[in-house]
Amino acid sequence: MKYCVDEAACIGCGLCAELNPEVFKIKDDGIAEAYSEGEGEEAKDSCPTGAIKEDC
């Protein structure tokens, strides 16, 4: 699955990268990035701000 991160909503908590490091990472600016396709449903569901979207 393909995911994207709403940079305006992301608070850079790092939970997505911790839960699904094969899909998400924290960029140098502190904001999350979905850098590859894969299973990221747990991160999407756990994001405190709802910044992760799928199929975008």
Each domain of the chain, given as residue ranges in start order, spans 3-54
Q: Domain 3-54 belongs to what architecture?
A: 2-Layer Sandwich (3.30)
Give the number of other Cβ atoms within 10 Å of residue 5's Cβ.
23
Interval 1-56: pLDDT, tens: 999 999 999 999 999 999 999 999 999 999 999 999 999 999 999 999 999 999 98
Please state, in angstroms and rounded to a whole number, the distance separating the CA atoms of residues 13 and 38: 20
pLDDT value for 38: 94
Pair type for strands 24-26 and 3-5:
unpaired
Cross-strand pairs, 51: none
Identify the pLDDT of residue 18.
Answer: 98
Question: What's the rounded Cα separation, in Å, for the pair 45 and 28?
Answer: 24
| Whole-angstrom distance, CA of residue 28 vs CA of residue 46 | 22
